[in-house]
Amino acid sequence: MRRPLTKRTCKHCKTFFDPDPRSAGRQRYGSQPECRKASKANSQRRWHQQPPNRDSFTGPTHVERVRQWRKAHPGYWRHPGSRPPAALQDDIAPQETQKQPRDEALTPQALPEVFFMQPAVLVGLIAQLTGFSFQDAIAMTARRLQPLGRDSLCGSTHHQGGLPNAQTPHLVGQTPHSPHAVQLGGSAPGP
């Protein structure tokens, strides 16, 4: 099998180009826009020179067809010029940002009500984050997280962990011996 050329001279601009590997045996023009136009013109010239194609698109049949088409499409050849296209919507004037008054109905106690209305979500979140699958381990983790959550919700910043001088409990490294895999967004793996 013959190996395709790596470089070829463009018939239009006379510079070297890399032919496309899919058409390396036939490609004679480069990929520049001017070279592509020259390739198209040459291709059309060769097509019209073939005997069966010499009288294509000539004669009274084609003349009448073009007349009818032009009558059905008046002004087709006229370009709209430099008119901008019609806008799909009106321009929006920038507005000054307004500060909304604080809603007094939202209290620090509103968030715990939302969380405790959905205990399954909370338990699932703890199980996912810690890798624990047993209820006792999840309950122990929840007891450790409760003082942290209380401090976060009540706005206490002078101490951590619910007790003065208490350390933040670390959940990392306390994985069970055989955690069950949890898959989100689908059925459980396996049979």
* pLDDT above 50 for 191: yes
Please state the domain count of the chain. Answer: 2
Position 4 in a domain: no
Position 186 in a domain: no
User: How high is the pLDDT of residue 41?
Assistant: 96
pLDDT tens track for 14-54: 999 999 888 888 999 999 999 999 999 999 999 999 988 88
Instruction: Answer yes or no: do 114 and 171 share one domain.
Output: yes
Instruction: Answer yes or no: do 64 and 117 share one domain.
Output: no
Instruction: Answer yes or no: do 114 and 60 share one domain.
Output: no
User: How high is the pLDDT of residue 143?
Assistant: 82
Three-state DSSP class for residue 16: strand
- Look up the domain containing 19 and give its range: 10-70
Position 187 in a domain: no
Position 190 in a domain: no
List, as own/partner pairs, every contact residues 165-172 make where C-beta atoms lie below 8 angstroms and the sequence separation is at least 24, other chains included: 169/144, 169/145, 171/129, 171/130, 171/141, 171/144
User: How high is the pLDDT of residue 121?
Assistant: 72
**Which one has a higher pLDDT value, 149 or 13?**
13
Position 146 in a domain: yes
**Banded pLDDT at 161 (limits 50, 70, 90):** very low
